[in-house]
């Protein structure tokens, strides 16, 4: 059973709350970012992210489930065609809430909720090296590398071709170098902190 939301309904009645959340989600997907009160933003975040998760699956059943909430078919199409594929690399955390100054009229705490536009760090790194990380595809890589090595050995026997062998070595060494650099950077940060203290 899902955990019930604590506190009173938005707007007063359950029906009013459903309508408000649906309208907030529709506005968020239309504009990409909306300014609203902090309480509404906090309630909207899980609601909107579940809709995006459904859109990422992209089949007819999920489209009908989303149409229960968002009545505008143009917005639903945008959700499936643009917003879903945009978050293909991201597993959750599709929206970001940033607090802003309280509203002038009633001093209500306000916030900006927006769809995250940046790519994830892992996605950018993978694009830079044009491969997936070793830990994700370790099993596949192991099986393919073995076959490659055998092929290379056969070729070496026939010809004195060093190029394929060196290429495979570089490919295997690159991830190891990246792993070494990260702890060094952390050590430096620690040293800086010690100096400050």
Whether the Cβ atoms of residue 96 and residue 116 lie closer than 8 Å to each other: yes
Neighbour count for residue 81 (Cβ, 10 Å): 12
Judged by beta carbon, residue 77 or residue 99, the one nearer other proteins is 99
| Separation CA 95–CA 82 (nearest Å) | 15
The secondary structure element, H or E, covering residue 60 is helix 60-69
| CB of 25 closer than 8 Å to CB of 47 | yes
**Cβ-based nearer residue to other proteins, 101 or 139:** 101
Would you tell me which residues interact with other proteins (CB under 8 A)? Answer: 35, 98-101, 112
Q: Which residues pair with 33 in a beta bridge?
A: 114
Minimum CB separation from other proteins for residue 96, in Å? 9
Q: Which residues contact 71 (CB under 8 A, 6 or more apart)?
A: 22, 26
Closest CB 111 distance from other proteins, rounded Å: 9
- Give the residue with the Cβ less far from other proteins, 101 or 182: 101
CB of 101 to other proteins, least distance (A): 5
Q: Residue 112 CB, nearest distance to other proteins (Å)?
A: 6
Nearer to other proteins, 76 or 115 (CB): 115
Which CB atom, from 65 or from 114, has the smaller least distance to other proteins?
114
Q: Is 106 strand, coil or helix?
A: coil
């Amino acid at each position: 059973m899902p955990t019930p939301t604590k506190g009173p309904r938005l707007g007063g009645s359950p029906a009013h709350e459903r309508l408000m959340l649906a309208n907030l989600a529709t506005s968020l997907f239309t504009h990409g970012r909306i300014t609203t009160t902090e309480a509404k933003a906090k309630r909207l975040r899980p609601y909107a992210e579940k809709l995006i998760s459904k859109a990422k699956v992209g089949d007819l059943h999920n489209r009908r489930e989303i149409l229960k909430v968002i009545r505008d078919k143009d917005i639903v199409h945008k959700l499936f065609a643009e917003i879903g594929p945009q978050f293909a690399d991201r597993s959750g955390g599709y929206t970001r809430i940033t607090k802003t100054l309280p509203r002038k009229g009633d001093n209500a705490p306000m916030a900006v909720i927006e769809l995250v536009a940046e790519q994830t760090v892992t996605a950018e790194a993978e694009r830079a090296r044009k491969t997936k990380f070793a830990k994700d595809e370790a099993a596949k890589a192991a099986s393919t590398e073995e076959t490659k090595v055998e092929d290379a050995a056969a070729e070496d026997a026939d010809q004195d071709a060093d190029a394929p062998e060196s290429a495979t070595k570089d490919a295997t060494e690159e991830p190891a170098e990246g792993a070494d650099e990260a702890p060094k950077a952390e050590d430096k940060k620690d040293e800086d902190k010690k100096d400050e203290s």
